[in-house]
Amino acid sequence: MTIEAPDLSLAALAPLLFVFGAACIGVLVEAFGPRDSRHPVQVAVALVGTLGGLVTTVLLAGTREVTAGGALAVDGAGLFLQATIAGLGALSLLLFAERNLDPARSAFVVSAAVPAGSVRDRELLTVQRVQTEVYPLATFAIGGMMLFVTANDLLVMFVALEVLSLPLYLISGLARRRRLLSQEAAVKYFLLGSFASAFFLYGVALVYGATGTVRLAGVREAVAGAEGGTLVVLGLALLVVGLLFKASVAPFHTWTPDVYQGAPTPVTAFMAACTKVAAFGAILRLLYVAFGTEEWTWRPLVYGVAIVSMVIGAVLGLTQTDLKRMLAYSSVAHAGFLLTGVLGLPATGDAAGSGLPAVMFYLLAYGLTTLGAFAVLTLVRSGEGEATHLSQWAGLAQRSPLTAAVMSLFLLALAGIPLTSGFTGKFAVFRAAIEDGAWPLALVALLASAVAAFFYLRVIVLMYFSEPAVDGPTVGVPGLPTTIVLAVTAAATLLLGIVPGAVLGLADRAAIFVG
């Protein structure tokens, strides 16, 4: 009995090879590299990996092939999302590498295994040693995400899900300050995430049982042939539960505020931007490629979940007094807006309708904006680390007009005010939903936008129209990495709002799935 070696198109795999290669090298550096030079080397390796991934995806533009024995689909949509993840990942890594803001030079704990609050922990708090394990971990997560959006096979999708999740669970718990909060966040994320993964796996099993295949195209054929029946639908429902959890769509969002708040802010930025892209990439591929012909089964589900997510995110966001939590609820609401666009997918043909490119564009725009917003959060600090309580931001404009202006830009974009990327994205997804006849949904989405806009604007009002507190926070001077991140994200937020044509066109051309 011999097993045929699967066909591997190394070119099509190049982005993944770059990122995973960098992750593996990172592990080796961690094991054998001299401690003194480890930080610059790790940062360089991770950046070379992610940027290499970004460049190769760009070079691959136009590729449409199924490779690795049918396990990977390298197509326009996949490459667009891979490039998005790689780019956002590289920016997140820059945030990780920032050494100017925290007096102890890093946002990450030196030794995660030392019990929080012990003598040793207090000792280590002020030590200027930098922990470098986060770089290979984050790179693995980025690789997992890039694999996730091109997975053409439910099992590969599951593996990718785990590859991206496990490092995330870990790095959520690595905050240097407020360690218990961070560890609690990591445990919650891990436990709930395990449940979600289990549901996903159960779904894979049911779908396999019903259709006899885990290949997305195979599932599509089997489903179109009316095989499977209820088991397929049940499996699909469980798969979607697992994916919606990762995308923090209500009612599977419960972990989001706690984890966003507890995790180190650079990690939160990374999760908010990249995980969202990856999860939605997988949702799109699953629903469109595997279950595109079974639209009637998932449409009502996505419809309902989108409404719940938008309403919960917008209404609960109103009461938040912590900026990180507020942005977490904003992420829940945005997940709902994204689902609105997902409904704009057509059920037939290879060419996608306006929903797919709209969601892809939205993901890029939202990722950049939210990354920038979290980057601003790292700048505003008090004695105990970042000052994320809303009241601490009062009158920030007088302390640092530039910071307040940049933050306002991001918040306006999140609110979807015209001339920012947020408006273009929202417009695109809503239009897709409307064209598909999802009227009431677009209406709810607009109302939710209005409510959500209220809490974003409240922060702007607070920054500009309040007296600064006497013992308020200081605004740190960012080093080169954070400066780059802020410059790129702010510029992109503006450009995608004023002249989004080129990127929209790109998304439009790329919006093709092969299966």
In the range 320-349, which residues lie near other proteins by CB under 8 A? Answer: 320
- Residue choice 10, 119, 348, 384 for contact with other proteins (CB under 8 A): 119
Q: Which of 40, 62, 225, 251 binds other proteins (CB under 8 A)?
A: 251
Q: Give the Cα separation of 286 and 289 in Å (integer).
A: 6
Count of C-beta atoms within a 10 Å radius of residue 128:
11
Question: Quick check: 123 binds other proteins (CB under 8 A)?
Answer: yes
Residue 468 contacts other proteins per CB under 8 A: no
Give yes or no for residue 364 binding other proteins (CB under 8 A). no
Q: Which of 8, 28, 402, 443 binds other proteins (CB under 8 A)?
A: 443
Residue 111 has a CB neighbour count (10 Å cut-off) of 12
Span of 40-48, 217-225, 272-280, 445-453 interacting with other proteins by CB under 8 A:
445-453
Range 304-323, binding other proteins (CB under 8 A): 312, 315-320
CB of 4 to other proteins, least distance (A): 13
Contact region for other proteins (CB under 8 A) — 13-21, 89-97, 336-344, 433-441?
Answer: 433-441
Site string for other proteins, 135-174 (x = CB under 8 A): ----------------------------------------
> How far apart are the C-alpha atoms of 448 and 314, rounded to whole Å?
6
Residues 6 or more apart whose CB falls under 8 angstroms from that of 512 comprise: 64, 75, 76, 77, 350, 351, 352
From the CB of 204, what's the least distance to other proteins, in Å? 12
Stretch that binds other proteins, among 251-259, 343-351, 374-382, 474-482 (CB under 8 A): 251-259
Which residues, in sequence order, are CB contacts of 174 under 8 Å at separation 6+? 108, 109, 112, 131, 134, 182, 264, 267
Lookup: tokens for 367? 């990722």
Q: Does residue 99 belong to the site contacting other proteins (CB under 8 A)?
A: no
Q: x/- string (CB under 8 A) for other proteins, residues 36-75? A: ----------------------------------------
**Binding of other proteins at residue 117 (CB under 8 A)?**
no
Shortest distance in whole angstroms from residue 409 CB to other proteins: 12
Closest-CA residue to 171 (of 250, 263, 247, 80):
263
The site map against other proteins for 169-188 (x = CB under 8 A) is: ---------------x--xx
Structure-block tokens of residue 327: 């942005």
User: Between 84 and 378, whose beta carbon lies closer to other proteins?
Assistant: 84
Contact by Cβ (8 Å): 168, 186: no
Quote the least distance from Cβ 493 to other proteins, whole Å.
15
Q: Give a three-class secondary structure readout of 337-406.
A: HHHHHHCCCCCCCCECCCHHHHHHHHHHHHHHHHHHHHHHHHHEEECCEECCEHHHHCCHHHHCHHHHHH
Which is nearest to 414 in space by CA: 458, 449, 364? Answer: 449
Alpha-carbon distance of 40 to 253, in angstroms, equals 36
Do 29 and 41 meet the contact criterion of CB atoms below 8 Å apart? yes
Q: Rule CB under 8 A: which of 201-230 touch other proteins?
A: 202, 205-206, 209-210, 212, 229-230
How near is the Cβ of 279 to other proteins at its closest, in Å? 15
Residue 135 to residues 106, 180, 216, Cα–Cα distance (Å): 13, 22, 32
The secondary element (H helix, E strand) that includes residue 244 is: helix 230-246
Residue 419 binding other proteins, by CB under 8 A:
yes
Residue 457 binds to other proteins (criterion: CB under 8 A): yes
Shortest Å, Cβ 411 to other proteins:
12
Stretch that binds other proteins, among 39-47, 95-103, 193-201, 343-351 (CB under 8 A): 193-201
For residue 92, give the nearest of 131, 53, 139, 133 by alpha carbon.
139
C-beta separation of 193 from 255 below 8 A? yes
The residue within the footprint of other proteins, chosen from 199, 200, 280, 366 (CB under 8 A), is 199
Residue 229 vs 480, nearer CB to other proteins:
229
CB 54 within 8 A of CB 83: yes
